[in-house]
Amino acid sequence: MTLFPTSAIMCIWTILHHLPIISSSFLRCKLFNRSIHTPGSLIKFSMSPRILFSRSVMSDDAFIDAFSRIGLTDKKTKEIIKNKKVSKSLFDIINEAPKPDSIYDDKTISLLHALAVECKGADVPNRHLVTNAIVDGRLKSNLQVSEAYKYVNSHPDANNSDMEKHSGVGVEVTEDDVRKHIGNYINENKQQIEAKRYAGVPALLGEVKKIPELKWAAPQLFKPIIDEKVLALLGPKDERDVVKKEKKKKEKAPAQKEKTEPVRSMFSEGFLGDLHKPGENPQMYPELMKEHLKFTGGKVFTRFPPEPNGYLHIGHSKAIMVNFGYAKYHGGNCYLRFDDTNPEAEEEVYFNSIRDIIDWLGFEPWKVTYSSDYFDELYELAEKLINIGKGYVCHCTAEEVKAQRGMKPDGTLGGERFACPHRDRTPEVNLAEFRKMKNGEYKSGEATLRMKQDLTSPSPQMWDLVAYRVLNAKHHRTGDKWLIYPTYDFTHCLVDSFENISHSLCTVEFRLSRESYEWLCDVLHVYRPAQREYGRLNITGTVLSKRKIAKLVNEGYVRGWDDPRLFTLEAVRRRGVPPGAILSFINTLGVTTSTTNIQAVRLDSAVRNYLDSTTPRLMMVLDPIKVELVNVNDDFKEEVEIPYKPGDAKFGSRKVSFTKTIYIDRSDYRDNVSAEYFRLAPGQSVGLMKVPFNISVVKVDKDDNGNVTKIHAKYENEEHKKPKTYIQWVPEDNLKISEVRIQNQLFLSENPLALPEGYLKDINPDSELVYKNAIIEPSFAEIKAKSPMNIPIEGSEFNIPEKGGPYTVRFQALRVGYFCMDKDSTDSDLVLNRIVTLKEDSKK
């Protein structure tokens, strides 16, 4: 196509202008079209309003023609021709393209324009290499064009293959690559990102663009992936992302604040200290908040919502303490709510165990409720969801639903998402189908009720979650009334709402659920409680998952779900760990939004400290040797008074009979003296705890194996030198112990699950050593009778009185460890568990 001389254009314009049938709006939209039908003939032309009214028509004319010819819009052309240098370059570029009269798509046009902007009117030799690469699609981004330009501009001898190399032609960076590199970057910089939260996200975009591997990635991939990863890391925005400024102001008035500050605790600082006050959580419908506050009177309402399908473990003790403790701290109420929406997995024993453990930890539910209490209300809201067009019945298989949610064949999310074919049925059809579900016309798996959420959201929790499923199972409380059961995602937020929860506190795995939680409350127009997520407590060096513990139990590796080597709360209790020790420990750890990974030995050390100030001391020997004093009469007897806890009068004291025969531990005698050995040996006397004088070896009896059976000793009651060391002893009138179980860590490594051979191969062969000949001084009976002693720790907020149970009979066996009575004990057979060692085990 050739250019029209101005006179010709003016002439055509005149014709058009005078055609009454061509309205001005027609002109406006068709002006840049290359073909305009006029009566009689097809005239090709192009022009802009500027030609019509501007005097500088001549100078822009050629540009305008060329630009509109390749497909540039009116508006854009107008913009470009304001810059003469860029216009000139673009004009040259168009003309040096292989087919100068092609129409290009928007992307190509924009890249050609980008090249023109780089050139700014300058003559650039070999620029056609770049132009060609844009036109045939090898250069795909502004960055590539810019790099290609830099190369040709600085290399007069530029050639095509070098230009391609410099501009990353053919370098494929897939979405998965981008995801991976951004994921790594975010992991490596997790702490800064968590500290800055959403305020740091714009800068993050700039940072990830600098990752060398992502240099040639399509830039539009970055933002959605960053959004998705940041959401997974930080959870949805909350008060920390909006009220920052206000908060800082408040902090500036410290003077009076310090005076009224209560004792520092996990409830007054950190995650829990930062939580909103009741009534401050935002609502879509503020009138609902008024109702809510009228009912709660502005009190804190929390809930602990376990599923009654397993035993609680140590991690739950934090959840219990966070929920019950936060409410208690603020004078509010905490529900114990059994989330019993999965009748197939629920058993009576779990309900009882959970209640019992909460009681043991010293908390009292305000009310005990069940999600199933609300099945009628939930059902009504499900129908409402359908009626407002936000719920639909889906008949897809699990596989199909996964595909719709963008699950790739390798099981990861991130593929293309698409709507369920049943998504757009009418509310009437959906309601009818849902009632069919309810009436048992569908079998399990044939129909589900799904929420109609937002498939374009980065959060998987918004991709049309299931709200109800068909389940032909008898429910322990509602019997066979229901053939459909609501899911966690549907139930949890709504029951929180029904129960007027002010703080729905859960662990970070539920972070993404917050969006669907709020979405559902809002679309159903019910009070929206605030879900907030804290980091959970994870004890390392053990396994906590139900399935894995079940295997240990079923295959006989442990004595049961409450084996003291496990970390179910029943096990921890049986081992003798006091509830106050657990609570104090969690309090010291504080609550943040990150998972707290704690080695079991750290918990042990907290338990040891707690026991140190709350238990009496007794003398026990695990492997006794009889000692007979040769230089005293048969009826020799000295009553030795020994305080139960030296330096602590409130424990009192007892008398122990020191007579002609006593017992010491086998490990306290050796045939030979060596440099580091200070206990009993021939030629080396030793002190006995609280006994005035030393004993020394006179003669040793041995059996055929060379084992010592009896030591004949001298009571050195004439001399008065201070012994180097004292050992414990047990009098002749002692108590025999059927079994002393010395429990050690069940696993050898800190991360048994990481073992390629499986965690069962990591089991410590010495995880339980049993002593069957142990003896203890008779005062044990007194301690047992006095238990639970419930000795408070001064100044502690966590003195939790226990009501009874063998595990409350706790004592320190001098030089041996802390012990408690095991539930396997009977009136005649005493069984003990070691709670913890006396000192941190140096082997670990």
Ligand X SMILES: *[C@@H]1O[C@H](CO)[C@@H](O)[C@H](O)[C@H]1NC(C)=O
Binding site for ligand X (CB under 6 A): 33, 35, 157, 159, 161-162, 291-292, 295, 498-500, 538, 540, 595, 597, 671-672, 678, 684-687, 693-694, 705, 707, 716, 719-721, 723-725, 751, 753
- Helices then strands, counting H and E runs in the chain, come out as 31, 31
Q: What separation in angstroms does the CA of 258 have from each of 262, 591, 612?
A: 9, 21, 33
Task: Compute the distance between CA of residue 736 and CA of residue 775 in angstroms, rounded to an integer.
Answer: 5
Which residue lies nearer to ligand X by CB, 178 or 495?
495
589 token code pair: 């750890």
Q: Which of 546, 670, 690, 815 is catalytic?
A: 546
Q: Catalytic site residue 307?
A: yes
To the nearest whole angstrom, how small is the minimum distance from the Cβ of residue 38 to ligand X? Answer: 12
User: Can you state the angle between helices 201-209 and 175-188, rounded to 10 degrees?
Assistant: 120
Which residue lies nearer to ligand X by CB, 759 or 819?
759
To the nearest whole angstrom, how small is the minimum distance from the Cβ of residue 623 to ligand X? Answer: 6
Q: Are 193 and 229 in contact (CB under 8 A)?
A: no
Task: Compute the distance between CA of residue 680 and CA of residue 673 in angstroms, rounded to an integer.
Answer: 8
Task: Compute the distance between CA of residue 32 and CA of residue 48 in angstroms, rounded to an integer.
Answer: 7
Which residue lies nearer to ligand X by CB, 208 or 495?
495
Which residue lies nearer to ligand X by CB, 395 or 815?
815
Nearest residue to 484 via CA among 453, 445, 520: 445
Task: Compute the distance between CA of residue 385 and CA of residue 412 in angstroms, rounded to an integer.
Answer: 30
53, exposed or middle or buried, with CB in 10 Å at 0-12, 13-18, 19+?
exposed
485 token code pair: 């059961």
Nearest residue to 384 via CA among 497, 527, 526, 524: 524
Q: Are 165 and 144 in contact (CB under 8 A)?
A: no
Q: Are 519 and 462 in contact (CB under 8 A)?
A: yes
Query: Within its chain, how far is the Cα of 76 from the centroid?
Result: 50
To the nearest whole angstrom, how small is the minimum distance from the Cβ of residue 244 to ligand X? Answer: 28
Q: Where are the beta strands (DSSP E) in 80-178?
A: none
To the nearest whole angstrom, how small is the minimum distance from the Cβ of residue 781 to ligand X? Answer: 27
521 token code pair: 């409350």
To the nearest whole angstrom, how small is the minimum distance from the Cβ of residue 557 to ligand X? Answer: 17
Q: Where are the beta strands (DSSP E) in 255-377?
A: 301-304, 333-338, 367-370
Which residue lies nearer to ligand X by CB, 2 or 705?
705
Q: Which of 96, 175, 194, 307 is catalytic?
A: 307
Which residue lies nearer to ligand X by CB, 161 or 174?
161
Which residue has 């009117």 as its token pair?
Answer: 121
Task: Please provide residue 234's backbone torsions phi and psi, each rounded to the nearest 5 degrees.
Answer: -100, -15
To the nearest whole angstrom, how small is the minimum distance from the Cβ of residue 662 to ligand X? Answer: 16
Q: List for the chain the helix, strand, coil content (%; round to 5).
A: 40, 15, 40
User: Can you state the angle between helices 57-70 and 6-17, rounded to 10 degrees?
Assistant: 70
Q: What separation in angstroms does the CA of 134 have from each of 47, 118, 219, 836?
A: 26, 14, 17, 73
The answer for residues whose C-beta is within 8 angstroms of residue 132's C-beta and 6 or more apart is 97, 98
To the nearest whole angstrom, how small is the minimum distance from the Cβ of residue 567 to ligand X? Answer: 10
To the nearest whole angstrom, how small is the minimum distance from the Cβ of residue 769 to ligand X? Answer: 13
245 token code pair: 């400024």
Nearest residue to 336 via CA among 499, 497, 535, 487: 499
Which residue has 């009192």 as its token pair?
Answer: 652
Which residue lies nearer to ligand X by CB, 162 or 207?
162
To the nearest whole angstrom, how small is the minimum distance from the Cβ of residue 753 to ligand X? Answer: 5
Which residue lies nearer to ligand X by CB, 684 or 779?
684
Which residue lies nearer to ligand X by CB, 21 or 785?
21
Q: Which helix (H) or strand (E) holds 735?
A: strand 735-736
Which residue lies nearer to ligand X by CB, 537 or 800?
537
Nearest residue to 797 via CA among 274, 360, 321, 358: 321
Provide the 8-state DSSP code for 703: -
Q: Are 330 and 459 in contact (CB under 8 A)?
A: no
DSSP for 540-560, please give it: ESS---HHHHHHHHHTTSSSS
To the nearest whole angstrom, how small is the minimum distance from the Cβ of residue 680 to ligand X? Answer: 8
Which residue has 């409680």 as its token pair?
Answer: 529
To the nearest whole angstrom, how small is the minimum distance from the Cβ of residue 526 to ligand X? Answer: 9
Q: Catalytic site residue 602?
A: no
Q: Which helix (H) or strand (E) holds 233?
A: helix 222-234
Q: Are 830 and 738 in contact (CB under 8 A)?
A: yes
Q: Which of 88, 127, 452, 536 is catalytic?
A: 536
Which residue lies nearer to ligand X by CB, 61 or 499?
499
60 token code pair: 């822009």
Which residue lies nearer to ligand X by CB, 672 or 826?
672
- Please give the span between the terminal C-alpha atoms of the chain, in angstroms, as a whole number: 85
Which residue lies nearer to ligand X by CB, 187 or 725?
725
Q: Catalytic site residue 536?
A: yes
To the nearest whole angstrom, how small is the minimum distance from the Cβ of residue 786 to ligand X? Answer: 33
Which residue has 């959840």 as its token pair?
Answer: 319
To the nearest whole angstrom, how small is the minimum distance from the Cβ of residue 696 to ligand X? Answer: 7
User: Can you state the angle between helices 375-387 and 488-498, rounded to 10 degrees?
Assistant: 110
Catalytically annotated residues? 307, 536, 546
